[in-house]
């Protein structure tokens, strides 16, 4: 008997374990909730939730909710891409000073929870907002209370995602291809015909992720009184305490995400990409006199998307004393957040690299279903995930010990963000040529050695970018954390949201600034450690 | 060098996480262990609190100091910002982690009672609390109350012109100048259920239709109502006493009116405390309930910024708030009002376009 044919390869075992963990951690909470949705509150088998779903879906109200949900997701994704894509290209390819500064300040909207950003916009306008005191002109607060307002807030929240992803993708584009093209075209032509088509899959994949994020966001439409399916799911939980109905109501959300994902994959397909390796120089276009136009655009985006909401929050606070007072009682929660988010982001990325690699190297038609399943599971509202985790982990066996420990919060992070990290990393792995792995195998290197020594180092920039994104999302996670956090183990967002229930707007603003400041300072520290700029000087 | 720093940082992070996890796990052993019989001898009690954290935390800290019992508290957010702890209690029904549930309004607790997650407990501390604030079956007991109030901006509205009744808000005089919180959640859901119970469906439907025609602003929470009034974005709104008092303490230009003192009565919302069925530390939970229902807690909550109205006589009333005996409270069967919350919510979704 040839045991070589029976014993699976190291690669098969590693990818098998990774996919088992994906199913166990990310899919089972949702599957558990769907299984429970066929029972009523007394435990009897019932289809009442689905009958209600059908009645909502067939009413004009249902169609209106679906249209609003899709419009919110699509609008936010388009706006975020329109802002983030050119910024990402500029950061990767243009010659202008202060890139590190711009990169960090443009991350600011991402680290402020969208709910707080919406609140900041409301506070900026109106009769008592800082815009009227600054300009003497009253900017009506009503504009924020609309679908358009929600799109603007969420687009402005998520454009840094598009910016980061575009920049990371542009950095990976083969310098040789661009160099060769430069023989026939000018820098603009190279950008248009070589660079942009090669980064397009990443840009569109990120737009899809933003679509999902905006579609499942509850806080902003809730605050701005925009009716979408997420608010219906929320109402089923918070007003009716009906888990079955809430779970059933996620189906339209998941279907719209599935449709958007299918369209995105049909549009993009899969490009054969090659990585930039051994590239001494770096393709970069000189802005020349246009540098000032670019600078003006950067300053405008900075002013509108970053300065206005942050200054609005600052304007509402009663100065540093109030922020320091907020820090005083939040030290434990802050430490919990930093440790749990750091650990969560590390574990999420650690699992996602295997999954993304496996997906990038798969060739069968099933890979499209794999992508779509990741997109759909990422679109499950956090509360559904949280209740599902309680059902699965609050058990008398060993899981009960995990449930009673802070590690359950990390498990919630894994459940929510492994699909996101995997989707973000797939295109990076696809840009690493398989020929390099084949060459390493011929040279006698084992698969694990090849993976760690050849494949991973080439996507180092993407790993860092994805780690930062996941860290930010873990840090701001509220819906699932609030449900699973054991007594006495609140994170900073949970503490902030429990404090703002009765606080004045000035205290809310101080707490929001506190949260944003800590994430930003953490990221600045990290960027210094990892020296992101190193990549600009060529690997 | 950079890689070394990164490795060091990551190693430190993981080490810190392990240490934190170990400490926290040991802290929480009491909560988990007792479900399988490892009782902690009453040294720990776990409470889920839907009362605002800023008001509940000092009360629980005082209990810790007084008894030496460690109180593990989980606090809730405003109902419009997350799905709330009541869902956590329901989800944990088969293996409860909480001993006590403290809610700041009756609806949530009554839902929990219907779902079978509460256990009866008759506290002797509640003997002098009026019977209408106690469940005849002892699944819940009320203490310190808030009231629903009309808040108005004192720069824009004179006291004499301010609305005295909830029904005045449907007057075209206030068109586009009234804000209320989403009536599907929190204390507003209790208020609308009480109005439906008091008025009957036809009159209540008519009132909310007129309110809708009056372009009422429906916002995400009671604190937002207060802030809109304080900023002059609206002239009047309906919110809770504690929300207005926070603004009064900050010297913001608002004042409050206890509505319908001469009509259907002022809607009063007591805090509600209950024992969780199958809780890990039942005896410790009962002792905490006794403390929460004591005159000492009512006095502390009256003195706090929450300005909660004591239900028993003999406890000093809070500042800015008239004593319970000085106005006519809305007579309510909380159980009946809560039973109709879901139906009323669905009616209002249609009427107000929620």
pLDDT tens per residue, range A354-369: 999 999 998 877 888 8
Contact across the interface for A478 and B82, Cβ inside 8 Å: yes
Statement: B40-145+269-321 belongs to CATH 3.40.190.10: yes
CATH topology for B146-267+339-352? D-Maltodextrin-Binding Protein; domain 2 (3.40.190)
Given this model, what pLDDT does residue A349 score?
96
- Cross-chain CB nearest to B72 (options A141, A394, A487): A487
Given this model, what pLDDT does residue A327 score?
63
**Tokens 């229902």 label which residue?**
B293
Return the minimum-mean-pLDDT range out of A31-45, A189-203, A496-510. Answer: A496-510
- Check whether A429 has a pLDDT greater than 80: yes
B187 neighbors B148 (Cβ within 8 angstroms)? yes
What CA–CA distances, in Å, run from B150 to B142, B192, B193, B204, B208? Answer: 23, 14, 17, 18, 16
- Check whether A265 has a pLDDT greater than 80: no
State the first-to-last Cα distance of chain B, in angstroms, to the nearest integer. Answer: 58
- Check whether A110 has a pLDDT greater than 80: yes
The angle at the Cα of B37, spanning B32 to B42, to the nearest 5 degrees, equals 75
Give the DSSP H/E element, type plus range, for residue A21: helix A10-22
- Cross-chain CB nearest to B95 (options A227, A400, A501): A400
pLDDT < 70 regions, chain B = 1-42, 78-83
Average pLDDT, chain A: 83
Interface of A with B in 149-208 (CB under 8 A): none
- Give chain B positions within 8 Å (CB) of A499: 53-54
pTM: 0.82
**Tokens at A91, concatenated:** 């950061």
Contact across the interface for B32 and A490, Cβ inside 8 Å: no
Distance CA A492, CA A336 (A): 8
Distance CA A207, CA B56 (A): 43
- Check whether A112 has a pLDDT greater than 60: yes
**Tokens 């300040």 label which residue?**
A105
Contact across the interface for B95 and A395, Cβ inside 8 Å: yes
Interface of B with A in 55-114 (CB under 8 A): 55, 72-84, 86-88, 90-92, 94-95, 97, 111
For chain A, the C-alpha Rg in angstroms (whole number) is 24
- Give chain A positions within 8 Å (CB) of B232: 127-128
Contacts (Cβ under 8 Å, ≥6 apart) of A93: A170, A191, A195, A283, A284, A285
- Domains, chain A: 68-234+283-316 (1.10.3720.10)
Distance CA A328, CA A325 (A): 5
- Check whether A536 has a pLDDT greater than 70: no
What HEC string does chain B produce? CHHHHHHHHHHHHHHHHHHHHHHHHHHHHHHHHHHHCCCCCCCEEEEEECCCHHHHHHHHHHHHHHHCCEEEEEECCCCCCCCCHHHHHHHCCCCCCCCEEEECCHHHHHHHHHCCCEECCCCHHHCCCCHHHECCCCCCEEEEEEEEEEEEECCCCCCCCCCCCHHHHHCHHHCCCEEEECCCCHHHHHHHHHHHHHHCHHHHHHHHHHHHHCCCEEECCHHHHHHHHHHCCCCEEEEEHHHHHHHHHCCCCEEEECCCCCCCCECEEEEEEEEECCCCCHHHHHHHHHHHCCHHHHHHHHHCCCCCECCCCCCCCCCCCCCHHHCCECCCCHHHHHHCHHHHHHHHHHHHCC
Contacts (Cβ under 8 Å, ≥6 apart) of B15: none
- Give chain A positions within 8 Å (CB) of B341: 239
- Check whether A241 has a pLDDT greater than 80: yes
Given this model, what pLDDT does residue B129 score?
93
Distance CA A515, CA A502 (A): 18
- Pairs of residues, one from chain A and one from chain B, whose beta carbons lie less than 8 Å apart: 186
Distance CA A411, CA A416 (A): 9
Given this model, what pLDDT does residue A33 score?
93
The single-letter DSSP state of residue A275 is B
Phi, psi of A425, rounded to the nearest 5 degrees = -90, -20
pLDDT tens for residues A248-257?
A: 989 988 998 8
Interface of B with A in 218-277 (CB under 8 A): 218-221, 223, 227, 231-233, 242-243, 246-247, 250, 252
Distance CA B332, CA A110 (A): 47
Domain boundaries, given as residue ranges, for chain B: 40-145+269-321, 146-267+339-352
Average pLDDT for A446-467: 88
Contact across the interface for A404 and B32, Cβ inside 8 Å: yes
Distance CA A226, CA A65 (A): 9
Distance CA A303, CA A308 (A): 6
Given this model, what pLDDT does residue A281 score?
47
- Give chain A positions within 8 Å (CB) of B83: 234, 237-238, 383, 479, 483
- Give chain B positions within 8 Å (CB) of A239: 184-185, 189, 341-342, 345
Contact across the interface for A126 and B53, Cβ inside 8 Å: no
- Check whether A244 has a pLDDT greater than 60: yes
3-state secondary structure of A203: helix
Given this model, what pLDDT does residue B38 score?
34
- Check whether A538 has a pLDDT greater than 60: no
B109 neighbors B118 (Cβ within 8 angstroms)? yes
- Do domains B40-145+269-321 and B146-267+339-352 share one topology? The answer is yes
Average pLDDT for A472-488: 87
Nearest CA in chain A to B28: A404
Average pLDDT for A413-436: 90
pLDDT confidence band for A280 (50 / 70 / 90)? very low
Return the minimum-mean-pLDDT range out of A414-428, A498-512, B325-339. Answer: A498-512
- Give chain B positions within 8 Å (CB) of A405: 21, 24-25, 28
A418 neighbors A350 (Cβ within 8 angstroms)? no
Given this model, what pLDDT does residue A539 score?
39
pLDDT tens for residues B207-264?
A: 999 999 999 999 888 888 998 999 898 999 999 998 899 899 888 999 999 999 888 8
Return the minimum-mean-pLDDT range out of A243-247, A465-469, A512-516. Answer: A512-516
Contact across the interface for A502 and B52, Cβ inside 8 Å: yes
Burial A331-364 (b: 16+ CB within 10 A, else e): eebbebbbbbbbbbbbbbbebbbbbbbbbbbeee
Interface of A with B in 477-506 (CB under 8 A): 478-479, 482-483, 485-490, 494, 497-506
């Amino acid at each position: 008997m040839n045991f070589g044919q029976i014993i699976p390869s190291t690669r098969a075992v590693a990818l098998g374990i990774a996919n088992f963990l994906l199913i166990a951690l990310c899919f089972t909470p949702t599957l558990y909730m769907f299984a429970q949705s066929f029972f009523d509150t007394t435990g009897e088998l019932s289809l009442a939730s689905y009958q209600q779903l059908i009645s909502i879906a067939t009413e004009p109200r249902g169609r209106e909710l679906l249209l609003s949900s899709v419009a919110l997701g699509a609008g936010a994704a388009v706006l975020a891409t329109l802002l983030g894509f050119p910024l990402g290209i500029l950061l990767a390819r243009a010659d202008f000073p202060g890139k590190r500064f711009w990169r960090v300040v443009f991350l600011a909207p991402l680290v402020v929870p969208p709910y707080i950003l919406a609140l900041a916009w409301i506070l900026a306008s109106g009769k008592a907002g800082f815009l009227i005191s600054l300009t003497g002109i009253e900017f009506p607060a009503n504009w924020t209370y609309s679908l358009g307002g929600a799109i603007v807030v969420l687009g402005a929240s998520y454009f840094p995602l598009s910016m980061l992803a575009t920049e990371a993708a542009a950095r990976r584009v083969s310098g040789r291809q661009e160099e060769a093209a430069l023989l026939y075209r000018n820098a603009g032509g190279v950008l248009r015909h070589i660079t942009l088509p090669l980064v397009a899959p990443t840009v569109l994949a990120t737009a899809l992720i933003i679509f999902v994020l905006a579609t499942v966001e509850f806080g902003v439409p809730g605050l701005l009184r925009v009716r979408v399916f997420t608010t219906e799911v929320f109402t089923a939980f918070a007003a009716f305490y009906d888990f079955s109905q809430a779970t059933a109501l996620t189906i339209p959300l998941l279907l719209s995400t599935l449709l958007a994902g299918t369209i995105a994959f049909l549009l993009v397909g899969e490009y054969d990409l090659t990585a930039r390796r051994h590239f001494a120089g770096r393709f970069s276009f000189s802005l020349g006199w246009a540098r000032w136009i670019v600078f003006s655009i950067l300053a405008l985006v900075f002013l509108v998307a970053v300065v206005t909401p942050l200054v609005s929050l600052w304007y509402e606070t009663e100065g540093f004393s109030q922020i320091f007072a907020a820090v005083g009682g939040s030290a434990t929660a802050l430490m919990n957040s930093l440790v749990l988010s750091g650990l969560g982001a590390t574990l999420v990325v650690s699992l996602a690299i295997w999954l993304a690699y496996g997906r990038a190297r798969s060739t069968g038609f099933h890979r499209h279903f794999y992508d779509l399943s990741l997109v759909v599971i990422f679109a499950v509202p956090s509360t559904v995930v949280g209740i599902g985790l309680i059902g699965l982990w609050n058990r008398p066996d060993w899981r009960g010990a995990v449930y009673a420990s802070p590690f359950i919060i990390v498990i919630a992070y894994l459940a929510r963000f492994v699909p996101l990290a995997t989707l973000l990393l797939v295109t990076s792995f696809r840009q690493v040529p398989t020929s390099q792995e084949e060459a390493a195998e011929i040279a006698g290197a084992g698969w694990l050695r090849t993976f760690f020594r050849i494949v991973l180092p080439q996507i180092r920039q993407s790993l860092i970018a994805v780690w930062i994104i996941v860290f930010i999302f873990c840090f701001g996670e509220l819906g699932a954390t609030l449900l699973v956090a054991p007594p006495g183990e609140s994170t900073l967002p949970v503490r902030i949201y429990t404090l703002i229930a009765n606080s004045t707007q000035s205290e809310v603003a101080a707490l929001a600034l506190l949260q944003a400041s800590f994430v930003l300072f953490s990221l600045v520290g990290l960027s210094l450690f990892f020296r992101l700029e190193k990549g600009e000087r060529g690997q | 060098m950079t890689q070394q720093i990164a490795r060091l940082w990551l190693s430190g992070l993981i080490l810190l996480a392990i240490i934190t996890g170990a400490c926290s796990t040991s802290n929480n052993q009491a909560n988990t262990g007792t479900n399988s019989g490892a009782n902690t001898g009453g040294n720990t009690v776990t409470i889920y609190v839907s009362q605002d954290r800023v008001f509940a935390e000092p009360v629980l800290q005082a209990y810790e100091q007084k008894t030496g019992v460690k109180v593990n508290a989980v606090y809730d957010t405003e109902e419009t910002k997350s799905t709330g702890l009541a869902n956590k209690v329901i989800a944990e029904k088969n293996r409860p982690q909480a001993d006590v549930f403290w809610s700041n309004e009756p609806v949530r607790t009554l839902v929990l009672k219907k779902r079978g997650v509460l256990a009866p407990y008759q506290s002797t501390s509640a003997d002098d609390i009026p019977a209408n604030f106690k469940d005849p079956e002892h699944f819940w007991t009320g203490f310190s109350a808030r009231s629903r109030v009309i808040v108005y901006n004192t720069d824009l509205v004179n006291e004499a012109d301010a609305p005295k009744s909830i029904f005045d808000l449907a007057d075209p005089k206030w068109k586009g100048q009234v804000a209320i919180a989403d009536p599907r959640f929190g204390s507003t859901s209790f208020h609308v259920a009480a109005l439906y119970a008091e008025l009957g469906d036809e009159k209540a439907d008519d009132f909310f239709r007129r309110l809708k025609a009056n372009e009422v602003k429906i916002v995400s929470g009671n604190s937002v109502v207060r802030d809109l009034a304080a900023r002059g974005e609206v002239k009047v709104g309906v919110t809770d006493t504690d929300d207005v008092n926070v603004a009064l303490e900050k010297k913001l230009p608002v004042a409050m009116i206890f509505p319908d003192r001469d009509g259907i009565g002022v809607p009063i919302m007591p805090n509600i405390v209950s024992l969780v069925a199958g809780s890990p530390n039942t005896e410790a939970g009962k002792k905490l309930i006794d403390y929460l229902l004591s005159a000492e807690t009512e006095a502390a909550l009256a003195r706090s910024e929450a300005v909660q109205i004591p239900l028993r006589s003999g406890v000093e009333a809070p500042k800015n708030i008239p004593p319970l005996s000085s106005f006519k409270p809305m007579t309510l069967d909380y159980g009946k009002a809560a039973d109709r919350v879901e139906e009323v919510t669905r009616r209002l979704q249609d009427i107000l376009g929620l």
